[in-house]
Amino acid sequence: MIKRQQIKDLLKSTDFNTEVTVMGWVKTFRNNQFIALNDGSCMGNIQVVVDFNNTAEDLLKRITTGAAVKVVGTLVESLGKGQTVEIKATTVEILGDSDPEKFPLQPKKHSLEFLREIAHLRFRTNTFNAVFKVRHALAFAIHQFYNERGFVYMHTPVITASDAEGAGEMFRVTTLDFDNPPRTEDGAVDFKEDFFGKSTNLTVSGQLEGELAAMAFGQIYTFGPTFRAENSNTTRHLAEFWMIEPEVAFADLENNMQLAEDMMKYVISYAKENCKEELEFLNGRLLEEEKQKPQNERSELSLLEKLDFCLANDFQRLTYTEAIDILKASKPNQKKQFKYLIDSWGADLQSEHERYLVEKHFKRPVILTDYPKDIKSFYMRLNDDGKTVAAMDILFPGIGEMIGGSQREERMEVLKQRMDEMGVPQDELWWYLDTRRFGSAPHAGFGLGFERLVLFVTGMTNIRDVIAFPRFPNSAEF
């Protein structure tokens, strides 16, 4: 059994003059004497002092950046600046060599673009150590939040025959021979010969299946991977990402908004409490990044101030119609500074509009409700005006839309009518319609793109930097 102490514990220890065993990766090795060692347990390194006069020269040459080593030595109080403890090495053993001529992560600043090319190694940098520790904390907090409230965690299918969003941007799943697929009499691909006997794809959402479970358990949530074959090369889009989707029976739009606001505040608070070192590092990193920008492009708030901003303020609630009136009258719209000008009711709001409402007008997170039915999905509950649906989007500073949700349409005839209007085939979703046939009830839910949440809490600016191995057009490395 391998026994070792974690560096995060030793850095806080005052148990001096005791023998310790640490294992980790060499960050730097100075003057043939000082190893900065990191084992991933924290962002900090521990200094290991090597007695180079009594250490074999060939061993010293193998202590290179990136090498994995085992150190046995004595924990002592450090006399040097920047650390309180260090280890006087008794023995150093090389567990895994690292060729200094070929190891890409040398002790210097690397661009995020370069690090994306070596995503298998970027975890070893301070930035990505911090980002993925925060991601872990947020994922844990999501589960804890719903568990404390008695929700049931459901695993919905990754392979599905439905398109929940009706967008059609899906990855097909098939075992058919691409070069010679079976054909029907009219020449179309015969999916009856495929593995599942029908056309299937990777899921775009677990919502529809989640609704089925909510109609039995009362309140459920899903947290899993979703996929969009959207040919979008932006800093905000991924082809594979993770979604949190709660569904609650006997709930309306008001319940839905409150649940979403409570969840956001809970998980941000958890990250602030449990990732202080990481968030302080990311806050400093963002401040340095902001200095490189022109004054008019700099954020008014630091990362930590943004997080506090969302915790300290109740989320502003207003209707889409009220938002359109505010945006039409706004200076950027009047002066034609918006890329997409707002001139009429029914416009699909863009990120620039959402950020204006949050960052300039209300200066707090915003929940927009009651969108035009024509720009929203078939399953959203039709309001009494016949023009809008009981939908909600939650908008955050720097991000725009963070959460999208709605009260679901529980009335069978209205749901069927909406499906017909939007070209959604009823026969394919017979099982979904059954929930309206047998004990239908008001219910509501929402979706939170997990990477958008991680992007916001870490202050990173590209969504490809908050998921371990990003999938996007022309990239499926690692």
pLDDT tens per residue, range 128-185:
999 999 999 999 999 999 999 999 999 999 999 877 666 568 999 999 999 999 999 9
Q: Average the pLDDT over 253-262 and give the result.
A: 98
Burial label for 255, CB within 10 Å (0-12, 13-18, 19+), is middle
pLDDT value at residue 36: 96
pLDDT value at residue 167: 59
Digit-coded pLDDT (tens) for 221-245: 999 999 999 888 888 889 999 999 9
Q: CA nearest 440: which of 467, 419, 412?
A: 412
How many whole angstroms separate alpha carbon 322 and alpha carbon 191?
A: 48
Computed over every residue of the chain, the mean pLDDT equals 94
pLDDT value at residue 329: 94
pLDDT value at residue 477: 86
pLDDT value at residue 301: 85
Q: Residue 399 — very low, low, confident or very high, per pLDDT cuts 50/70/90?
A: confident
- Bridge-based pairing state of the strands 85-96 and 366-372: unpaired
Edge-to-edge strands of the sheet including 172-173? 159-160, 200-202, 172-173
The 10 Å Cβ neighbour count of residue 455 is 25
Share of the chain above pLDDT 90, in %: 87
CA 332 to chain centroid, in Å, comes to 30
* 460 and 466 Cβ atoms separated by less than 8 Å: yes
Q: Average the pLDDT over 45-71 and give the result.
A: 96
Digit-coded pLDDT (tens) for 348-391: 999 899 999 999 999 999 999 999 999 999 999 999 999 999 99
> For the chain, which domains are there?
7-105 (2.40.50.140), 124-169+204-465 (3.30.930.10)
Q: Average the pLDDT over 36-40 and give the result.
A: 96
pLDDT value at residue 289: 86
Share of the chain above pLDDT 70, in %: 99
